Amino acid sequence: MFLVSNVASSVLLLLTGAAVPRETLPAWMRAAGELLPLTHAADAARGLSAGTGLDGRLLGAELGVGAGWGLLAVALLAAFERGSRRRATLDTM
């Protein structure tokens, strides 16, 4: 179980640009990173620490991506709940 979480964490750190500059990543990795909330938060934190202030574009992107992931989570929860009620069990597999 720890292997899966460590690999997932490493991939997230890579794709979001928290570990390496995103400019050095291939285009498909940069595109995947744009869909992760941490990407925009890391960019905003870099801007704040550099003294450029809070970028409204990054804040909007963070809120938009976060809302998208929130909607996906609610939809998946509803689907799993329906399946659990239909099978009368909490097992998903």
* Residue 43 reports pLDDT greater than 80: yes
Q: Is 78 left (phi over 0), alpha (psi -120 to 50) or beta?
A: alpha
Determine the average pLDDT of the residues in 35-49: 87
Whole-angstrom CA distances from 20 to 7, 24, 27 are 16, 8, 14
Full DSSP string of 31-62: HHHHTSHHHHHHHHHHHHHHT----HHHHHHH
Whether the predicted model's global pTM rises above the 0.85 cut: no
CB atoms within 10 A of CB 74: 10
* Residue 22 reports pLDDT greater than 90: no
* Residue 46 reports pLDDT greater than 90: no
Nearest by Cα to 57 from 67, 47, 49: 47
Place of tokens 């995947």: 32
Ordered by start, the domain boundaries in the chain are 2-87
Q: In the prediction, which pLDDT does 92 show? A: 66
Determine the average pLDDT of the residues in 70-83: 94
